[in-house]
Structure 1
Amino acid sequence: MKNIVLLAGLTALMMSSCEVKEKVSSSNGEPFGMNIACADFGSVFPGEYNKDYTYPTDSDLVYWEKKGLKLVRMPFKWERLQYKLDGGLNKHDLEKMKEFVVAAQKRGIKVLLDLHNYCRRFENGDHRIIGTYGITNQNYAGFWKKIASEFKDYDNIYGYGLMNEPHDLPDSISWFKMAQLAIDSIRMVDTKNTIVVGGNSWSSAKRWLTESDTLKFLKDPAENLMFEAHCYFDKDGSGTYKYSYEEEEGTPEKGIQLVAPFVEWLSQNNLKGIVGEFGIPDDDARWEVTLDNFLSYLSKNGVNATYWASGPWWGEGAQMVIPTYKGGKEYPQVKVLEKYIMTEK
């Protein structure tokens, strides 16, 4: 009996040690999270607040805090924060952004500020590529310098997301040069916070090696860069999931296969990375298996991710996870998402 008691005590101690080890490992990882999108809404710029677009508030954090998520990616628009090139920041929208950051701070949630502009700015009635029609790299970098000056002292800024999904740039326009100038400008006022660099070609994880490999040569005097890829599992990678699981060529391992080029690139170059957007539809449980495998793979490789998307103005869509769904039931994706709070390393 004495030996049994001793063995039981030793087993309990070992189990306790494992639990502690697991908690320590989790606390040292990177947080998974959610996109809370609404400030990027609308086709009119700057648009009318609470009609064409809005900003997330504390109420949009309650559900996700309960689920344990510790990171929010918050899209916003250049044209709404700065009406005129090189001009001052729009105080109303800046204040709304700050209110949300403070609300997240009180709940222990970090915020990734995501400039959701696709390497473009709405000028003279159209979306113009930066570097054309008088919109210069210097205009863009100067904007980021102003934003960093305003947010550098908040302790829950996860990073400055330089640009959402650069794409279809002419040969004369270099996303690399844009990004480098923005990095240099931010570091004039903020040497602390992480700078997050999205990949070219819609930030595609699948096409990372062919479209974004040169980003590894970016220089940051603070040596605090993170790289952002996006990964959807449907056939065209758009995240619209227009067709059935079979027609979209779904498999349990598809997410891993699509994101592996990005994850392996990070490892080979000793760089940090995040998957800023991913998502699945709610109408076929087989996608949930794909999602689970995808997140497990990321977690084991120390790469975190933010799901697309939640927010106060979303209706029922392909992969949206607004807090209530079909009579108050949770979206089926949530039971997978809440398994992944922090990466394993």
Structure 2
Amino acid sequence: MKNRNHNLALLFLLISLNIFAQSPFGVNLAGAEFGSNIPGTFNSDYTYPTDSELDYYQSKNLNLIRLPFRWERIQPILNGSLDSNELMRIKSFLQLANNRNMKVIIDLHNYCRYKINDVYEIIGSNNLSVANITDLWTKLSLELKDEPNIWGYGIMNEPHDLLPSTPWFDIAQSIINGIRTNDQNTTIIVGGDSWSSAERWLTYSDNLKNLVDSSNNIVYEAHVYFDHDASGLYNDNYDNEGAYPNIGIDRVTPFVNWLNSNNLKGFIGEYGVPADDNRWLVVLDNFLNHLKQNCINGTYWAGGPWWGNYILSIEPNNNVDKPQMSILQNHITTTNCSSLGINEIINSSEIHLYPNPFIDSIHIKGINDGTIIYIYDIKGRLITTKLLENSKIQNLNKLKSGIYIIKSNKQYIAKIIK
């Protein structure tokens, strides 16, 4: 039974890696977070995406949907019960997406704030505590943990300008702890501080690498826009915004390097360009190529039923695609990433590996000396190869702390931790 369970665990690990290595790109479908009237009236102040919209984006192979929603609507009274009607709307949308084999990110679109008596209170103020947001996610994860197509819980959109006494790290850690009391399986997506800026990640969000998740299943979310102040407003033309073909690559590089240096998983939750100048489309294409080369996926901002003439919208006009769509369709999965296929596993009952966790060397019994050992990171990227000598692979001290996968002769796979 022990060997069988070991192989099942490895099989689950391989399936997880295969999914991540082929992670889908997608789109934000906005609407449920709309409206200054909070909580407001459904289909008057705000709305949810429709099944016809899902049909459209599925036809374009954009099968990952980021669904923004508001804290005040799902939980109208702090620490109170979840609103049954709003919860039904979220679950109904999840079902519509699941019927189409589409994955959904549940995105709490509140910027670390909650509107009380027409005032947006900041988490950490006298009227809004870390315990309040932890209560929300503890209850919401209990309700959603069995939904089969949730790609991840986006615990807070674009934290920014927080109180020094209550940093984003402390808020995020409390939310993670609350979720894991009910749900040990769903990915938790943690955005960065300072509007989740990829460009400013090292300045404001470097400490997020120290978050602790008992399930070791965090994806870090950054946002990237290409106008002068990276706000995504695009108030001026291409030249006056100071744009150039690789501006997106330059802005996302600090985040990409941080992920790679720390052996962490990342995601770009928002990016978008206007369609009034073809040079913006070149920026978008170059940016998405760079993401794919680094095994990072993302969701475009934005689609949704109520955008009207919004310059970044990719909702079709009279069934005519927006120009951005042709670029997005070239980037529907991170297909360039290495895939550790499930057919590669063999009976490993005679193979023993220790110590695990390791420091700078690993002993492997049951594999012949002279065998080449391949070491991959959790994204499926080959990190290094080593020769097995005297049942040992050595000089691993340069590997960053994290989880790795080892292969030999494309047959045996094991999970190792440093």
TM over 0.5: yes
Residues 240-293 of structure 1 show CA distances to partners (whole Å, capped at 9, x for unaligned) of 111111111111111000001001100100000100000000100001011001
Q: Is the 8 A contact 1:277 1:305 kept in 2?
A: yes
User: Pick from 267, 276, 280: which aligns with 1:274?
Assistant: 267
Q: Secondary structure at the match of 1:146?
A: helix
Q: Secondary structure at the match of 1:292?
A: helix
Residues 156-205 of structure 1 show CA distances to partners (whole Å, capped at 9, x for unaligned) of 10000010000111212211101000000000000000000000000000
Q: Is the 8 A contact 1:36 1:56 kept in 2?
A: yes
Aligned match of 2:83: 90
Aligned match of 2:12: none
Q: Is the 8 A contact 2:27 2:301 kept in 1?
A: yes
Structure 2 gaps of 5+ residues are 1-16, 338-418
Q: Is the 8 A contact 2:124 2:163 kept in 1?
A: no
Residues 87-118 of structure 1 show CA distances to partners (whole Å, capped at 9, x for unaligned) of 10000010000000011011010000000000
User: Pick from 151, 154, 158: which aligns with 1:161?
Assistant: 154
Aligned match of 2:129: 136
Deviation at 1:294, TM superposition (A): 0.3
Aligned match of 1:9: none
Deviation at 1:25, TM superposition (A): 8.3
Cα distance change on mapping 1:254 and 1:26 into 2, 3 Å: farther
Aligned match of 1:70: 63
Aligned match of 1:7: none
Aligned match of 2:321: 330
CA distance in 1, matches of 2:153, 2:316: 26
The within-5 A match list for 1:32-181 is 32-181=25-174
Letter of the structure 1 residue corresponding to residue 40 of structure 2: G
Letter of the structure 1 residue corresponding to residue 105 of structure 2: L
Identify the structure with bigger relative contact order (alpha carbons < 8 Å, sequence gap 6+).
1
Based on CA coordinates, which of the two structures has the bigger radius of gyration?
A: 2
Structure 1 residue runs of 4 or more that deviate by more than 4 Å after TM superposition:
24-27
Aligned match of 1:288: 281
Q: Is the 8 A contact 2:124 2:166 kept in 1?
A: yes
Q: Secondary structure at the match of 2:323?
A: coil
RMSD value, Cα: 1.4
Which stretch of the first structure deviates more once superposed, 293-302 or 52-61? 52-61
Q: Secondary structure at the match of 1:296?
A: helix
Q: Secondary structure at the match of 2:276?
A: coil
Residues 285-322 of structure 1 show CA distances to partners (whole Å, capped at 9, x for unaligned) of 00101100100000110100100000011111121111
Letter of the structure 1 residue corresponding to residue 244 of structure 2: T
Q: Is the 8 A contact 1:115 1:162 kept in 2?
A: yes
Q: Is the 8 A contact 1:57 1:99 kept in 2?
A: no
Letter of the structure 2 residue corresponding to residue 284 of structure 1: D
- Give the TM-score taking structure 2 as reference length: 0.75
CA distance in 2, matches of 1:123, 1:27: 39
Are 1:339 and 2:333 matched, yes or no?
no
Aligned match of 1:317: 310
Q: Is the 8 A contact 2:111 2:156 kept in 1?
A: yes
CA distance in 1, matches of 2:80, 2:19: 43
Cα distance change on mapping 1:256 and 1:144 into 2, 3 Å: same
Which stretch of the first structure deviates more once superposed, 53-62 or 106-115? 53-62
Structure that is richer in strand per residue:
2
- Give the TM-score taking structure 1 as reference length: 0.91
Letter of the structure 1 residue corresponding to residue 58 of structure 2: E
Q: Is the 8 A contact 1:239 1:318 kept in 2?
A: no
The count of residues paired between Structure 1 and Structure 2 equals 320
CA distance in 1, matches of 2:102, 2:200: 31
Identical counterparts, % of pairs: 50
CA distance in 2, matches of 1:31, 1:155: 16
CA distance in 2, matches of 1:323, 1:187: 40
Deviation at 1:26, TM superposition (A): 9.0
Deviation at 1:154, TM superposition (A): 1.1
Which stretch of the first structure deviates more once superposed, 276-285 or 132-141? 132-141
CA distance in 1, matches of 2:64, 2:160: 26
Residues 208-262 of structure 1 show CA distances to partners (whole Å, capped at 9, x for unaligned) of 0001000000000000000000000000101111111111111111100000100
Aligned match of 2:231: 238
Aligned match of 2:199: 206
Letter of the structure 1 residue corresponding to residue 168 of structure 2: W
Q: Secondary structure at the match of 1:61?
A: helix
Q: Is the 8 A contact 2:64 2:105 kept in 1?
A: yes
Q: Is the 8 A contact 2:121 2:127 kept in 1?
A: no
Aligned match of 2:241: 248
Letter of the structure 2 residue corresponding to residue 156 of structure 1: N
Aligned match of 2:389: none
Q: Is the 8 A contact 2:305 2:315 kept in 1?
A: yes
